[in-house]
Amino acid sequence: MKVLGIESSCDETGVALIDSDKGLLAHAIHTQIDMHRAYGGVVPELASRDHIRRVLVLADQVLEQAKTDKKQLDAVAVTEGPGLAGALLVGASVAHAVGYALNIPVVGVHHLEGHLLSARLADPAPDFPFIALLVSGGHTQFMRVGAFGSYELLGETLDDAAGEAFDKTAQLLGECYPGGPAVSRLAEAGTPGAVVLPRPMLHAPTLDMSFSGLKTAVLTAVRNAADPTDEKFRADLARGFVDAVVDVLVAKTVKAMKMTGISRVVVAGGVSANRQLRAALIEACRRRRARVYFPPMALCTDNGAMIAMAGMMRLMKMNEAERLAAARRWSFSVKPRWTLSQAARPDAVDPRQAHRNH
């Protein structure tokens, strides 16, 4: 089975082709970072327009790289939500046009489900069940993944996501958007322990987290600094911030393993590319004789491969009648506000949240 995956929920256009026997055949990603940097964040209308310019070009590139004719496709998987409504509509429109033209099923995928399953693209891939740490600009959550479609929320941030805190800290330190890579690079030059920042909810009995207070602590340190532009000060403050975030995430990961008795951990989302976090989690899991899995570095950000993988796994759960119905669905929807529990139980989706296009 060959499945084309399309991701366009925010500021990356991703297309990939997965074969159920051979794995990932090809993928391509275009990031809009340079375009949005001037505005300090994602501009939804500009994001949508750029997806329109890129998605067909990337699809042709992927098919050519995989030496696959479009008539050999068995299905298309596309991010249906959550995300920016206009951006989602671009991917959905293209996916359903392809499905209609080729008379093949089109499967809507939840963006976070794609991230949850992205480590299945690694070698070795994790078996079920596992603990998943989703850590990105919009989400910081712990999930128990019992099987495909079986997701239990164990804890989440009560305010800012970790990636959001990175972006805000970068602004305070005079760095450009996106903040994660910039703060991480700056922290590498900092002295450990030179600046000690709070570890919010570190010892709380739950797996919930909070990062807004940490951002406030960075703001206070900048305001109280004799020279906030001093390079050593900036590096030490960045190091203090990164160490605080990493300590919280690692401590909560260890707590999640203890609470569930599961010794397999998957880390996914854009912040999973952070070198300090990777090193700390690898060491923490080594001490507990646990295994930690990361997506390939190129697939940590939003990408079409994770959508193709999730779509393929959903197709394999369908019977022939369900696949035929998916190939004959002439209308489609996107769901900018779509919970993972609704994706796992399609009957729970509130149609009032769907933006329909006929």
For the chain, what percent of residues have pLDDT higher than 90? 84
Q: How far apart are the first and last CA of the chain?
A: 28
Report the pLDDT value the prediction gives residue 346, as an integer from 0 to 100. 52
- Rounded to two decimals, what is the model's pTM? 0.91
Buried b or exposed e, range 30-52, using 16+ CB within 10 angstroms:
bbbeeebeeeeebbeebbbbbbb
Residue 348 is predicted with a pLDDT of 41
> What is the bridge-based pairing of β-strands 150-156 and 23-31?
unpaired
The yes-or-no answer to whether 2-116+301-357 and 127-294 have a common fold is yes
CATH number, domain 2-116+301-357, options 3.30.420.40, 3.30.590.10, 3.40.920.10, 3.20.20.70: 3.30.420.40
**pLDDT (tens digit per residue) in 231-255:** 999 999 999 999 999 999 999 999 9
- Percentage above 70 pLDDT, the chain: 96
Report DSSP state, residue 70: G
Whole-angstrom distance, CA of residue 264 vs CA of residue 276? 20
pLDDT in tens, 5-56: 999 999 999 999 999 999 999 999 999 999 998 888 899 999 999 999 999 9
Q: What are phi and psi of 242, to 5 degrees?
A: -60, -45
CATH homologous superfamily of 127-294: ATPase, nucleotide binding domain (3.30.420.40)
Which sign, positive or negative, has the C-alpha torsion 108, 95, 84, 24? positive
Compute the average pLDDT of residues 331-352: 72
Contact status, residue 102 vs residue 330, Cβ threshold 8 Å: no
What is the CB neighbour count within 10 angstroms for residue 301?
Answer: 25
Give, as one character, the DSSP assignment of residue 21: T
The DSSP secondary-structure symbol of 351 reads G
Domain residue extents for the chain: 2-116+301-357, 127-294
pLDDT tens-digit map of 272-315 = 999 999 999 999 999 999 999 999 999 999 999 999 999 999 99
Virtual torsion, Cα 156, 146, 5, 75, nearest 10 deg? -150
pLDDT band at 69 (very low <50, low <70, confident <90, very high): very high
